[in-house]
Chain A
Amino acid sequence: MSRTLEVNVPRVKPQRRRGVVRWYRSGGLTAVLFAIPVVLIFLYFSWGPVVRGVLMSVEKTNLVGPALWVGLNNFSYVLSDPGLPQAALNTAYYALLGLVFGFPVPILIAVFVNELRRYGWMYNLLAYLPAVVPPVAGILLWKFFYDPSSDGIFNSILGWFGLGPYPWLNSEAMAMPSLVLYTTWAGAGATAIIYLAAIGGISPELYEAAEIDGAGIWSRLWHVTIPQLRNVIFIMMLLQLIGTFQLFTEPFLFTGGGPNNATQTIMLKIYNYAFVSGDYGAATALSVLLALFLCVLSVAYHFVTKRWSPS
């Protein structure tokens, strides 16, 4: 036994030393040194704000004077905000409307464009065009469309059919659907492009087989396209859900959260805490809560959709 040990110990040491030397000679150190700046920059700029945000959520700070540790005070403050339930409900309502009405539109556009034998590029272009318009410009344009007077653009068009005038953004009931209409217009094109690319990847033989079996366009859509797109649809749905819970630009520019808080969203509340009240503690506390909620939502979504995905 003791002999074996004597033999083994001197063998291991040179191997390790040789390993380190080989690692060094083969450029291991250079690789680490190359990686350090990238990792540090990533940590500082990507994770730095996240960590700083979490820290700020337990502080009272105006970022000018010294910060004061307040524990969970900011969390209890934002959770007891009488406006929070409505903002949360509004955000959920927007997400629901977006899912029910906005989500199928790009799929339908993609299928429609894909079915066209000629001028497909032109419809592609037309569908994608709204995505090119900067959101601020688009929203200013749509503010004209939503003009509540009878000579507003939408009201004039509806007037030809004897409808309206509607108050659009000026009505608590219509404000949020109006925002969904705009975001669907603005976002459908870009999403449709992704679906189109995914549809391009579906084996044509499946369609041919379906056609031979006498499947029409709706049958092909239901039995071939959608099942084949399932994974993309699940991913896009998750991205849309996360996006809708972070709704900010549209209510900020269209309505400022009004009328009577009907379009007040969680993100708008965060913005107001930080940049109207200068209460960065409350803003980051609500941000942390939203991030946690989205994490939980993503995990739950993953497990739910896993059961439906082809393994």
Chain B
Amino acid sequence: MKKRAVKVAVLIASVSTVAALTGCTGAGAGGSADQGKADPKAKVTITVGDEPTADKKADRATFLQHVQDFEKLYPNITVKPSTEYWQAQTFQAKLAGGTLPDTMNVSLTYSKQLIDNGQLPNMTPYLKQIGLLDDLNPLALKNVQDSKGDVYTVPYGLFSVGIAYNRKIFQEAGLDPNKPPTTWKEVQQDAKIIHDKVPGVAGYAQLTTNNTGGWMLTTMTYSLGGTVTDKSGKKSDMGAPTREALQTLHDMRWVDDSMGSQFLYNQDDIRKAFSAGKIGMVLQAPDIYDQAVHLYGMNPADFGEGALPQGNGTNGTLTGGTIAMFNAKATPNQLLAAAKWVKYMNFEQYFDKDLAVQNAKSSAASNSAVGTPGLPPVKDSIYQRYLGWIKNEINVPLDQFKGYTASTLPLIPEPADAQNTYATLDPVVQKVLTDQNADIKQLVTSAGQTIDRNLAQQR
């Protein structure tokens, strides 16, 4: 009897293992979005990312309250929150593995690449269905559309790149902390003065690794009136402005010696060094403020942000920030529900005064920055009204961002195949900063050829 029981158990175990493995193989084939057939009243469950972790008590409580309120508002939608959030190292793997929530926030820099790769669902019908499309800032929308004008993600936490500077270091160097440099010539001059008068401080520092080198070289190229890829997105298009940007960096590094000794900076490292007072100026969007002050303990009074320095005139700046992305494997009903969630979470506050004040208060209570200047996700009139509602809760010293907020630089979207293009340009910037005899012209030409090759593979 006993023996037979063992045999039966083994048989069941084998069969169930085979079944489980077959199940595994089948997983991931999930239904793709059949656009435009969403039923707004259908019962649906969605998973949403960015639930604050347990250490951020106030934020988490507010978030969970939002989930409850949202479910009350839409009784047919069940929201399953997840603490999943965007991390550069794991994002692509999770996206490929299909383990991301139905909607979560992602860095804007992935927008074009994900659209081109067909890794995002077309959200136009759903955004139209919930009436969000018309309220979005048209300037921001450019970053999340394909060539046909279809919208794939919702941009909401956007910034344009500016120049962050340390006001205390400016004072120590005898520079006016209310006058950040507005041209690259001024950047070079100020950096030299800082280097000469404040020992142990790099006048200006540049991002160079993990694709940030290319990212900032692109920004500099834009500010000097150039482009990196052409309008069709099929060819590289770098010329004199890119070479001029590299020449400026070369001169600051090798002629003035005003860039310190560290030339392998990634985003985290440069923000830490800037917050610790080791860097006078660095290209950063204003969102650095929150991290610098609340995470790395920089004195808020020392922080300053100016507009992106230009070559001559007002050529433009690069946009960056956060978008809400959606899972390509979600069903139409889930996508519609997820779009409603994104609208509720990120846009309701621009139309509901109580909610605006409540959100701002809870952010301030959990030591987050409130009122950081940026590119409004909604039309300017709606945004100004919102700022009026939360003006008592704003904890960011807006006066110190004046150079940035007063500027009206044109916003230029990222180049084609952004991350790959940036990766190709990283070593170019590194070469110029670590090799005095770097041949700038040859570097740009050969990087252009590599970008062309990558773009051809993308097609």
Hey, which chain B residues are within 8 Å of A150, CB to CB? 261
B426–A29 CB distance below 8 A: no
Say yes or no: A147-B262 contact (C-beta < 8 A), given A171-B434, A259-B431: yes
- Provide the bound-state CA to CA distance between A167 and B261, in Å: 7
**Cβ of B113 < 8 Å from any Cβ of A?**
yes
Tell me the A17-76 residues at the B interface (CB within 8 Å): 29-30, 33-34, 36-37, 40-41, 44, 62-65
B264–A34 CB distance below 8 A: no
A36–B89 CB distance below 8 A: no
A170–B10 CB distance below 8 A: no
B209–A258 CB distance below 8 A: yes
A258–B427 CB distance below 8 A: yes
**Cβ of A255 < 8 Å from any Cβ of B?**
yes
Quick check: which of B51-59, B91-99, B128-136, B362-370 contacts chain A, the rest being far away? B91-99
- Provide the bound-state CA to CA distance between A261 and B211, in Å: 12
Indicate which residue in A44, A257, A274 contacts B21 across the interface (CB closer than 8 Å).
Answer: A44
**Cβ of B66 < 8 Å from any Cβ of A?**
no
Mask, B160-181, CB within 8 Å of A = 1, is 0000000000000000000000
- Provide the bound-state CA to CA distance between A63 and B91, in Å: 13
CB distance from A76 to the nearest CB of B (A): 10
- Provide the bound-state CA to CA distance between A142 and B217, in Å: 28
Q: How many residues does chain A have at the interface if contact means C-beta atoms less than 8 Å apart?
A: 46
Indicate which residue in A63, A172, A276, A280 contacts B211 across the interface (CB closer than 8 Å).
Answer: A276
A170–B262 CB distance below 8 A: yes
A44–B261 CB distance below 8 A: no
Hey, which chain A residues are within 8 Å of B345, CB to CB? none
Indicate which residue in B95, B97, B262 contacts A149 across the interface (CB closer than 8 Å).
Answer: B262
A258–B430 CB distance below 8 A: yes
B264–A82 CB distance below 8 A: no
CB closest residue in chain A, given B449:
A82
CB distance from A17 to the nearest CB of B (A): 21
Say yes or no: A279-B457 contact (C-beta < 8 A), given A33-B7, A65-B118, A256-B264: yes
- Provide the bound-state CA to CA distance between A64 and B121, in Å: 10
A256–B426 CB distance below 8 A: yes
Indicate which residue in B7, B266, B419, B427 contacts A29 across the interface (CB closer than 8 Å).
Answer: B7
**Cβ of A260 < 8 Å from any Cβ of B?**
yes
CB closest residue in chain B, given A173:
B434
B92–A282 CB distance below 8 A: no
CB distance from A208 to the nearest CB of B (A): 54
Mask, B417-459, CB within 8 Å of A = 1, is 1011001001100110111000000000010011001100100
Count of chain A to chain B residue pairs whose CB atoms are closer than 8 Å in the complex: 134
**Cβ of B117 < 8 Å from any Cβ of A?**
yes
B210–A65 CB distance below 8 A: no
A278–B113 CB distance below 8 A: yes
- Provide the bound-state CA to CA distance between A33 and B6, in Å: 11
Indicate which residue in A33, A77, A83, A261 contacts B11 across the interface (CB closer than 8 Å).
Answer: A33
Say yes or no: A260-B434 contact (C-beta < 8 A), given A62-B96, A64-B118, A82-B450: yes
**Cβ of B255 < 8 Å from any Cβ of A?**
no
Tell me the B13-35 residues at the A interface (CB within 8 Å): 13-14, 17-18, 21, 24, 28, 32
**Known contacts A259-B427, A260-B427; 18 further A-B pairs (Cβ under 8 A):** A33-B13, A36-B14, A36-B17, A37-B14, A63-B96, A63-B97, A64-B95, A82-B449, A148-B261, A148-B263, A149-B200, A149-B261, A149-B262, A165-B261, A255-B209, A259-B430, A259-B434, A275-B89
5 contacts between A and B (CB under 8 A): A62-B118, A170-B262, A257-B209, A257-B427, A258-B213
Interface residues, chain B, with chain A CB atoms under 8 Å away: 6-7, 10-11, 13-14, 17-18, 21, 24, 28, 32, 89, 91-93, 95-98, 113-114, 117-119, 200, 208-211, 213, 260-264, 266, 328-329, 417, 419-420, 423, 426-427, 430-431, 433-435, 446, 449-450, 453-454, 457
